Structure 1
């Protein structure tokens, strides 16, 4: 008798919480309602230049002279 009560209780709680997903606002709703504000001036990410070294990859904010070790970059072409 007790186990049936707990099974019904767990089932009803799972049913109720599964049905509450539509109440969760998305990011567009939050912006429309004024809960979350976008930054006024988004910052540009800083350039990043990564070079292969003997043991690992090392990244710098400015390009180095040795371009033959360049493994990847984000920003203006060096």
Structure 2
């Protein structure tokens, strides 16, 4: 794996690290990039609290909450 900014940051983590298979890491990174792009790169923070997510925007533009459990009820998983 090449040294991307994320791999450099992850290499500096002290303590316990989470292991993700490369496919899962790529999928999560793509999903987060999509969220960041669709919000015009204005996300200041994204906090997961159990099955809810709070997304705060930069410059006090506000925040929005998502219920992940509710979102998954409309989602169909397809295993390869």
Is the structural similarity TM-score above 0.5? no
TM-score range, shorter chain: under 0.3
Q: TM-score, normalised by structure 2?
A: 0.21
Using CA pairs under 8 Å that are at least 6 residues apart, name the structure with larger relative contact order, 1 or 2: 1
Normalized per residue, the structure richer in strand is 2
Q: TM-score, normalised by structure 1?
A: 0.21
